[in-house]
Structure 1
Amino acid sequence: MGPARTPPRVFFLTTLIAAIVASSAAALSLTVGLPVWAMFVGWIAFYTRGLTTRSTFENLGCVGLGLAIGLLASLALPRVAAMTGPGVALPLVVLVVAFQVVSLRGLPAMNNLLAYFLGLVTWFAAHLEPTVASWLHLFVATAIGSAAGWIAHRLPARMARGDRPDRHRA
């Protein structure tokens, strides 16, 4: 629903909720020592496809696999450079990685090409040591962002429908 067809009150409430959720996710990321920019990569990944709970997990999974492929590529680069020279190593590793990632678009699920590339970009932009701990560091940041995107999308819709927990249930 675009702003032209959204009542001003709903538009404002949706915007306010998104801003509060973004601020909270940024604060959480800072508190636990995660890069806020990587949290926003997860938020972006949420909005690339689906906007459902299932697609939230699939998109985040694609980001996580993109991060892992980036980690493996960064481990392969020095080894390939030792065999071919640095001028050949990077294009060769990029060829293999791009072929692999673009091929994943044919999977029946987990086929979000954009989310895979978001994971790769996040990995290489972070300039971290290629370790599982580094992967986990970035994955948790993107997971916070994906969760924040899901909350920012779902909460206004639930409020507009009047979905509220029944306080009288035991």
Structure 2
Amino acid sequence: MKTLPIAIAFGFFGAVAVTVSFSLQWPTWVMFVAWVSFYIFGKKIETSLWALLQIVLGMMMAILIQVSAGGLQQLIGGLGFPVAVFLYIGSLAYFAGTKKLNNIPAWFLGLIILFGAHPPLEPLPVLNLLIPILAGFLFAWLNNKVVDMIHERQTSKSTVQ
């Protein structure tokens, strides 16, 4: 019986998130990538903000790869895209050595989001991806808060008995 309230919370937040996402025509998978990121990268505001920053940086890297690839393709043809990927992804080795920007999975999630959603490389479509990303972190945070409250209530009841 202890699991039922948690299952209800998970189901509720998942259903609300999907409903909002479908209603607003967001790419739902982008929202869930952000939701998972909250849990993978620490479930705290500070770690979530750092993960969010690196996801956004990964998205910017994907844009730079595409723009650079276009220029390189004019110079070296079909090798332009792989060379651009090689150069930018290779630069992540340097970020891995920093204290705050070393979350390579978050960078790759940003790459995945931008390459997966493949919006036009214009400011508004790219910035619009930030909305489901922020919503994903928010839904995960809300879900986690409710689950923590359920755990606290269950713990206090078991110590009273």
TM-score by length of 1: 0.82
Residue 80 of structure 1: which of 65, 72, 79 is its match?
72
Map of 1:130 onto structure 2: 121
Q: What fraction of aligned residue pairs are identical, expressed as a percent?
A: 22
Per residue, is there more helix in 1 or in 2?
A: 2
- RMSD between aligned alpha carbons? 1.6
TM-score by length of 2: 0.86
Q: What does residue range 1-170 of structure 1 map to in structure 2 within 5 Å?
A: 8-9=1-2, 11-86=3-78, 88-162=79-153
* Cα 1:19/1:101, change in 2 over 3 Å: farther
The runs of 5 or more residues in structure 2 that have no matched partner are: 154-161
| Amino acid aligned to 2:39 | Y
SS in 1 for 2:40: coil
Encode CA deviations 1:96-123: one digit per residue, 9 max, x unaligned.
Answer: 1212234222222232211110110111
Q: For 1:97 and 1:12, how far apart are their aligned partners in 2?
A: 46
Change (3 A) 1:104 1:15: farther
Aligned-partner SS, 1:85: helix
1:17 is displaced (CA, Å) by 0.9
Q: Segments of 4+ in structure 1 off by > 3 A?
A: none
Distance 2:121 2:92 in 1: 19
Equivalences, count: 153
Question: Structure 1: which 5+ runs fail to align?
Answer: 1-7, 163-170
